[in-house]
Amino acid sequence: MTDDDIDAVIQLAGATFNDLMQRLGKRPEDHPRTTLFQQVRHRHLNATDPESQWVAEDGDGTLAGAACALRREGFWGLSLLVVRPDAQDRGLGRRLLDQALESARGADGAIIISSPDPRAIRLYASAGFALCPTMGASGVVRRERLADPVEVREGDANDFAHTESVDREVRGTPHGRDIPAMLEGGMRLAVSDLGYTVFGENRVVTVAARTREAATELLSAALIGLPQDSEVRVNWITGAQQWALEVVLAAGMDLRPEGPICTRGRLGPLTPYLPSGAYL
C-alpha cells in the first residue's frame, strides 16, 4: 500500500462493512469514523509499518482487498482486513492475512479484533488465534447516573510517557506513536494517575488502567465528555471487563454481541482494557 491508495482503501472498507451489516440484518454504523481519522491512521501505519500494509488488485487495477498490520516491539496486531464483497469466498482474505502475518514472525503475542462475519472468525481461528467473545454498547448516555470522575483530567503530549507506562503494564507493549496519531485524527485524551482513555466521534476509542476503579472513572469521563444527547458507542467489552459493563449499563446503554477479540502467544493481561479497533 502507498499513500496514493489510502482513499480507495477507506472507501472499500466502508462499503465492505456496510455490506456485512446488511447481510447480518443489522443497520450500518450510525457514526462511522471520519475520513480524517482514517486518513491519519493509514498514513501513520504506512510510515511506521510500511512492510505490513498490503492491497490486492484485480487484473484491471481495481482494488479488491487490503490488509494493514502493526508491530510494536513484541506486540503484533491486525488493524484492518477487508475484501470487496464481490471478490469474497475466493481465498483472497486468507492470502492477505498470510501476507500480513509475515510481519508477526518473532512477535511475543498477536491480536486481531474480528468483525462478526462468520467467515472472518473462522479464518482467524484457523490461523491459530484463540477467540474471546465480546459485547458492544450503544445509546444516549444518562450522565446523571454516572459518578463524577474527579480524578480525571484532559491529557496532552506531556502525558505520553504516562500512557506508555500504563500500556506496558496492561498490554505488554506501549502504543508508542499511535497515541499521537489518534489525537491527530480528532480524538481526545483524558488521564488519571492510574490510566488513560482516548475518545471522540461519539465513541470511546480505548481505555487502559492499572485498577478497575481507575478504569471505571476513565470510561465514565469519556462517556460524559462525548456529545450530549447523541448516540455513542463502546466496543469490544470482554468478560474480563465487568467494570465496563457496569458503567455502560449504569449509563442506560444497550448491549449487543460483537465479533471476538482473537489472541495468540504472550500478551499483557489486557485488563482493565478496552482496545482500539484501529490501533489495538
Chain segment 87-114, per-residue pLDDT in tens: 998 999 999 999 999 999 999 999 999 9
Residue listed under C-alpha cell 462525548:
226
Residue 200 belongs to some domain of the structure: yes
Asked if residue 92 and residue 141 are part of one domain, the reply reads no
- pLDDT class for 34, splitting at 50, 70, 90? low
Instruction: Output the pLDDT for position 174.
Output: 97
Tens-digit pLDDT profile for residues 143-171: 999 998 999 999 999 999 999 999 999 99
Q: Tell me whether residue 280 is in a domain.
A: no
Give the pLDDT confidence of 196-223 residue by residue, as tens digits.
999 998 999 999 999 999 999 999 999 9
Domain termination residue (choose one: 68, 103, 133): 133
Ordered DSSP codes for the chain: --GGGHHHHHHHHHHHHHHHHHHTT-PPPSSPPPHHHHHHHHHHHHHH-GGGEEEEE-TTS-EEEEEEEEEETTEEEEEEEEE-GGG-SSSHHHHHHHHHHGGGTT-SEEEEE--S-HHHHHHHHHTT-EEEEEEEEEEE--GGGSPP-TT-EE--GGGHHHHHHHHHHHTSS--TTHHHHHHHTT-EEEEETTEEEEEETTEEEEEEESSHHHHHHHHHHHHHHSPTTSEEEEEEEETT-HHHHHHHHHTT-EEEEEEEEEEEE------SEE--TTT-
Nearest to 179 by CA among 199, 194, 193: 199
Q: Does residue 109 share a domain with residue 58?
A: yes
pLDDT at 26: 76
**60 Cβ contact list (under 8 Å, min separation 6):** none
Would you state the pLDDT for residue 30? 46
Higher pLDDT among residues 133 and 35, named by residue = 133
Residue 120 and residue 227 in one domain: no
Q: Residue 159 falls within a domain, yes or no?
A: yes
When pLDDT is averaged across residues 214-234 and rounded to a whole number, the result is 96
pLDDT of 31 reads: 42
Could you give the CA distance from residue 88 to residue 65 in angstroms, rounded to a whole number?
Answer: 9
Total domain count for the chain? 2
Query: Do residues 153 and 64 both lie within one domain?
Result: no
pLDDT of res. 109: 97
Domain end position, chosen among 72, 99, 133: 133
State yes or no: pLDDT of 275 exceeds 90. yes
Domain ranges, residue 62: 3-133
- Backbone phi and psi for residue 208, each to the nearest 5 degrees, phi listed first: -140, 135
Please report whether residue 42 resides in a domain.
yes
Kindly state whether residues 120 and 143 are assigned to the same domain: no
> 245, 145 in Cβ contact below 8 A?
no
69 and 185 inside one domain: no
User: Do 93 and 179 belong together in one domain?
Assistant: no
Same domain, 78 and 35: yes
Report pLDDT for 24. 83
State the cell numbers at 45.
501505519
- Residue 129 sits in the same domain as residue 156: no
Of the candidates 62, 42, 61, the one whose C-alpha atom is nearest the C-alpha of residue 52 is 42
Give the pLDDT confidence score for residue 29 in this predicted structure. 60
Do 55 and 91 lie in one domain? The reply is yes
Residue 214 counted as domain residue = yes
Q: In terms of domains, do 205 and 158 share one?
A: yes
First to last CA, the chain: 20
Q: Count CB neighbours of 139 within 10 A.
A: 16
- 125's CB contacts (< 8 A; 6+ apart) are 131, 262
Q: What is the CATH number of the domain that holds 186?
A: 3.40.630.90
Asked whether the predicted pLDDT for residue 21 surpasses 90, the reply is no
Question: For residue 23, what pLDDT is reported?
Answer: 87
Q: Which residue has the cell 479484533?
A: 113
Mean pLDDT to the nearest integer, 74-81: 97
Do residues 128 and 142 both lie within one domain?
Answer: no
CATH number at residue 110: 3.40.630.30
Percent of the chain whose pLDDT exceeds 90: 90
Beta strands 203-209 and 231-238, pairing class? parallel
Domain end, chosen from 92, 116, 133, is at 133
Q: Which of 37, 45, 50, 103 is nearest to 75 (CA)?
A: 103
Taking 60 as the threshold, does the pLDDT of residue 32 lie above it? Answer: no
